[in-house]
Amino acid sequence: MKFINYLEKISGVDIYALSSFSIFFVFFILMTIWALKADKNMINEINNLPLNN
Amino acid sequence: MQVEKFYYDNKIVKMFAYASVLWGVVGMLAGLLIAVQIYLPGANFNLPYTTFGRVRPIHTNAVIFAFVGNGIFMGVYYSLQRLCKARMFSDALGKIHFWVWQLIIVAAAITLCLGYTSGKEYAELEWPIDIAITLVWVVFGINMFGTLIKRRESHIYVAIWFYIATWVTVAMLHIVNSFEIPFSFMKSYSFYAGVQDALIQWWYGHNAVAFFLTTPYLGMMYYFLPKAANRPVYSYRLSIVHFWALIFIYIWAGPHHLLYTALPDWAQSLGTVFSIMLIAPSWGGMLNGLFTLRGAWDKVREDPVLKFMVVAVTCYGMATFEGPMLSIKSVNAITHFTDWTIAHVHVGALGWNGFLTFSVLYYLIPKMFNTPLYSKKLATNHFWIGTIGIVLYVIPMYWAGFTQAEMWKQFTEEGTLKYQFLETVTHIIPMYITRSLGGALYISGVLIMVYNLFKTVKAGNFVADEAAEAPALPKVVETHGKQYWHRWIEARPIQMLIFSLVAVAIGGILEIVPTFLIKENIPTIASVKPYTPLELQGRDIYIREGCYLCHSQMIRPFRDEVVRYGEYSKAGEFVYDHPFQWGSKRTGPDLAREGGKNPDSWHFMHMMNPRNTSDKSIMPNYPWLYTNDLDTAITPAKIRAMQTLGVPYPKGYDQQANTDLQAQAKKIADGLKGDDQIKKLAAVSEDLDLNNIQKKEIIALISYLQRIGTDIKGEKKPATASLP
């Protein structure tokens, strides 16, 4: 439990930024493609859910 | 297909609605009290319980967790049942959820009044309450996912996705940020120290805004706005992109609260980049809400519910435009530590959360009581009074923030600072007064709402169990085109929970873990030593009185700050700070290099009545520190807790600590007793007993104040960079 070490610079920190960005980007693009290509009837059906109760 | 009959539970919704209103009024009144105290320090009544440092956490906790918290549960319990076409999973769990949550709120109010605080903003509650919150959150989760599992509607509407993300993320944030080592029934030390504590706290703090004040309310917007406007949301596809982009990006943005601090640069940059990206999904959501009303603006003119919603969504848009701007380092250099931040959060709190809650209340109460709203006119008056209240609140605060930041940074031609800190404070007092008027106006509006809703309730008949019917969920769900994998997720809410957790956890892990794991290049500073027992006790008093709410301990590397306060702060200076006390607002000056700046006698006179040493100071008096005995019985337990956390006190030091404490206290007390000014003060003051002063809390506090930032003062300093 000795978390008393700190740092101002991390060697190879790029990998954190790059990997995190790639994970985010790929997932986001997949979701967007899905959202845009999703079946129109289904989208309409879900969209009207709040009004059907 | 056979149609099943069932009943929606409105009782639990009503209970949360009432609680939200009640705590809303309490929380806002607490806010008004501290707003007045800023220009009338005597309004603390010289009592510890009503002093700014203790009431401010009551205000923030009451508004966030009691007003908005109950508002969330009201909205979720109402909309989830209807979107799932099912009664809540368990009435009993709902009741447990409700009563334990209210109990937590009461316990929070009492303990914060008494000064039990962890010293971390928006996470002030102490460890037993933290555990209770965790348990009640699990109860809420079981009830929510139980309802999802027994639902009769195959699709999961986007509002529910927001609710799921809320539940998962708040659980994660609360648990990670609340790691603490208890050393008594109601007190603990943060598990983390210094830089790590700051990073985790603001990862939590920012995401509490994201996942407590934003995502559940977006879910409510996606349900109640279409309901009130009687038309589906503008673009459901956009809402899906909005959801995923928002939860993914939000989780990274926390470090923007720590720009120019001793936090590693890469983490600051990460925070900035993701904060700027946030504008896209936030505005996507806002526009989706506003466009839903296209062609229905005539209704907005008539219907107070829609009026409140339009301003709420607009305020959401304003706050989420401003947030990314404030994350740009050059803008942040001006706004941070000033009232600009206060203005920013109140656009969100008063506009977005407040107005959306009011709109939902105006929508739900008449519906559940099966009667029209008592008076549309009063609701419209509430709307206008509230809106003017917001404007009167935020504009003076923007003005104050900008003015003060400019004054802090001004130099004379000779190269000295143009203004003393106190001058920059007294200059903006008219703005503080106007702000409290805006707040008072906003509360008057709320009281009008209370009356209006009360009359509505009186006139109506409560429908506790609302009849509904729907066919059972078919075993094999019909799919539209090639939607198999999406259907697979929709049919499995528990898996959906895990996906959401993975999505938000990736952000958290990659942001935080590096500061724990990588041990090379550690700028440890040899001269930084643990606090002495007396200083440690003094530090705990500093935390108890909420000093961090007005005083930062973080000198940023700017020319004006270095000249005003001293050498800029280094990461290695805070390694024994459990919790960190960097602060986020400078109503008073920074204290990071306070040690040794003024003599002990100055602090003694100042804490008694700040006007003794600083004419026109707005700081409250702390008379009880001169009469309260320091609790030395707890010293060994505190030392042992610190040792557990890795602070290098020698083995067995817990038994030695009080001897050292007494010796240090005696030295300070002896010095004070010899001071002429203090002798004069003691001669005319009945309460001040100089003979016993050594045992009093003030001595410990002075020892801490004299220690802050002194560790590296003797070191050979590197040349201070000349800064932006």
pLDDT in tens, B61-83: 999 999 999 999 999 999 999 99
Provide the pLDDT confidence category of residue B136 given band limits of 50, 70 and 90: very high
Q: Among residues B591, B610, B638, B489, which one has the least CA distance to residue B183? A: B638
Poorest-pLDDT segment among A13-17, B76-80, B598-602: A13-17
* A25 touches B: beta carbon within 8 Å: no
Q: What are phi and psi of B657, to 5 degrees?
A: -55, -45
Q: Does the beta-carbon distance from A35 to B241 stay under 8 Å?
A: yes
Q: Write down all domains in chain B, each with its CATH number in brackets.
A: 293-473 (1.20.210.10), 533-707 (1.10.760.10)
**Given this model, what pLDDT does residue B271 score?**
80
Q: Does the beta-carbon distance from B520 to A31 stay under 8 Å?
A: no
pLDDT in tens, B178-197: 899 999 999 999 998 888 88
Give the H or E element holding residue B591.
none
Q: Does the beta-carbon distance from B506 to A45 stay under 8 Å?
A: no
* A15 touches B: beta carbon within 8 Å: no
Alpha helices by DSSP H, B354-410: 355-368, 376-409
pLDDT in tens, B618-651: 999 999 999 999 999 999 999 999 999 989 999 9
Chain B residues with CB inside 8 Å of A9's CB?
264-266, 521
Q: Does the beta-carbon distance from A50 to B646 stay under 8 Å?
A: no
Q: Does the beta-carbon distance from A7 to B515 stay under 8 Å?
A: yes
Torsion, Cα of B232, B237, B239, B241 (10° steps):
180
* Non-local CB neighbours of B287 within 8 Å, separated by 6+ positions: B234, B238, B317
**B6 - beta bridge partners?**
B468
pLDDT in tens, B493-541: 777 777 777 766 776 666 666 656 544 334 667 788 999 999 999 999 9
* Non-local CB neighbours of A22 within 8 Å, separated by 6+ positions: none
pLDDT in tens, B451-485: 999 999 999 999 999 999 998 877 665 555 555 56
Provide, rounded to the nearest whole percent, the portion of chain A with pLDDT above 90.
0
pLDDT in tens, B192-247: 888 888 888 988 888 888 899 999 999 999 999 999 999 999 999 999 888 888 88
Q: How far is CA A7 from CA B176, B266, B365, B520, B571, in A?
A: 21, 11, 54, 7, 7
Q: Does the beta-carbon distance from A6 to B524 stay under 8 Å?
A: yes
Q: Among residues A46, A50, A43, A53, which one has the least CA distance to residue B225? A: A50
Provide the pLDDT confidence category of residue B355 given band limits of 50, 70 and 90: very high
The whole model's pTM is what?
0.92
Chain A residues with CB inside 8 Å of B270's CB?
17
Burial label, A7 (beta-carbon count in 10 A; 0-12, 13-18, 19+): buried
Q: Calculate how close chain A gets to B185, using CA atoms only, in Å.
A: 22
**Given this model, what pLDDT does residue B75 score?**
98
The DSSP-derived string for B447-481 is HHHHHHHHHHHHHS---SEEEEEEEPPPSS----S
Q: Is the ipTM of this complex over 0.90?
A: no
Residue A24, token pair as written in the block: 């985010």
Query: Is there a contact between B281 and B242 (Cβ–Cβ < 8 Å)?
Result: yes
Nearest CA in chain A to B179: A1
DSSP strand E in B159-311: where?
A: 180-182, 188-190
Q: In whole angstroms, what is the distance from residue B157 CA to residue B119 CA? A: 39
Instruction: Provide the 3-class DSSP secondary structure of residue B8.
Output: strand
Q: How far is CA B479 from CA A32, A38, A40, B151, B487, in A?
A: 20, 11, 12, 18, 7
Choose the closest CB to A6 out of B241, B245, B571.
Answer: B571
**Given this model, what pLDDT does residue B489 score?**
66
**Given this model, what pLDDT does residue B513 score?**
63
pLDDT in tens, B12-56: 999 999 999 999 999 999 999 999 999 999 999 999 999 999 999
Interface test with A, best of B235, B248, B360 (most A CBs within 10 A): B248
* Non-local CB neighbours of B294 within 8 Å, separated by 6+ positions: B234
Query: Is there a contact between B702 and B600 (Cβ–Cβ < 8 Å)?
Result: yes
**Given this model, what pLDDT does residue B525 score?**
75
Interface test with A, best of B155, B200, B273, B510 (most A CBs within 10 A): B510
* Non-local CB neighbours of B650 within 8 Å, separated by 6+ positions: B656
**Given this model, what pLDDT does residue B476 score?**
61
Q: Does the beta-carbon distance from A49 to B191 stay under 8 Å?
A: no
Q: Does the beta-carbon distance from B223 to A39 stay under 8 Å?
A: no
Q: What is the mean pLDDT of residues B408-425?
A: 95
